[in-house]
């Protein structure tokens, strides 16, 4: 499995698949920077892995690219998974964890805005 430093896109793909997210989060949480806003422990690893496991691999891929690159559309079924299965807190925590990696630090404001937009758009789709 690739690490964050070796091949971020292959490793994470922000929930590209639940198994990929599980493996990468668990293997890399221990290397989180000292300014990471949460505890780095086996319970935190389990928490992130549980968040990621709630998404279908295709939905995870689409959400990842929508949040981190702004170039994907999320279908209603994926919005339903994000809103009802993953939830806002898990969505935000996984986004923040990815932002601790160097590749995205310079774009954190845009990424956080896209993350919020993805969430809001999905809530709107699910509620309609």
The domain limits of the chain are: 12-127
Q: What is the pTM of this model?
A: 0.69
Average pLDDT of the residues of the chain = 75
Half-sphere exposure (Cβ direction) of 37: Cα atoms closer than 13 Å: 9
| 101 or 74, greater pLDDT | 74
Half-sphere exposure (Cβ direction) of 33: Cα atoms closer than 13 Å: 13
Tens digits of residue pLDDT in 12-63: 333 333 333 333 333 444 344 444 455 456 787 789 889 999 999 999 999 9
């Amino acid at each position: 499995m690739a690490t964050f430093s070796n091949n971020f896109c292959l490793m994470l793909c922000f929930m590209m698949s639940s198994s990929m997210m599980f493996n990468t989060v668990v293997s890399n949480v221990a290397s989180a920077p000292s300014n990471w806003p949460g505890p780095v422990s086996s319970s935190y690893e389990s928490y992130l892995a549980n968040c990621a496991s709630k998404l279908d691999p295709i939905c995870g891929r689409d959400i990842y690219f929508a949040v981190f690159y702004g170039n994907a559309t999320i279908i209603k079924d994926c919005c339903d998974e994000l809103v009802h299965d993953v939830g806002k807190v898990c969505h935000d925590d996984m986004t923040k964890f990815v932002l601790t990696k160097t590749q995205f630090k310079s774009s954190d404001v845009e990424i956080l805005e896209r993350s919020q937009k993805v969430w809001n758009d999905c809530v709107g789709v699910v509620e309609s």
